[in-house]
Amino acid sequence: MPRMEEIDQHGLVIQTLVNYLPEQSDETGNRFVFSYTITITNLGPSSAKLISRHWIITDAQNNVQEVRGQGVVGEQPLINPSQSFEYTSGTVLTTQVGTMRGSYQMQDEDGTEFEVAIPQFVLSVPRVLH
The model's pTM is 0.89
Q: At residue 58, what are phi and psi to the nearest 5 degrees? A: -120, 130
* Domain-wise residue ranges, the chain: 4-123
State residue 9's pLDDT score.
75
Q: What does each of the 130 residues of the chain score in pLDDT, given as a tens digit?
A: 344 445 667 899 999 999 999 999 999 999 999 999 999 999 999 999 999 999 999 999 999 999 999 999 999 999 999 999 999 999 999 999 999 999 999 999 999 999 999 999 999 999 865 5
Query: What is 4-123's CATH number, 3.40.50.300, 3.40.640.10, 1.10.1200.10, 2.60.40.1470?
Result: 2.60.40.1470
CA angle, 68 then 33 then 58, to 5°: 50
Beta bridge partners of residue 72, listed in sequence order: 75
Instruction: Give the separation between CA 31 and CA 25, rounded to whole angstroms.
Output: 5
State residue 7's pLDDT score.
63
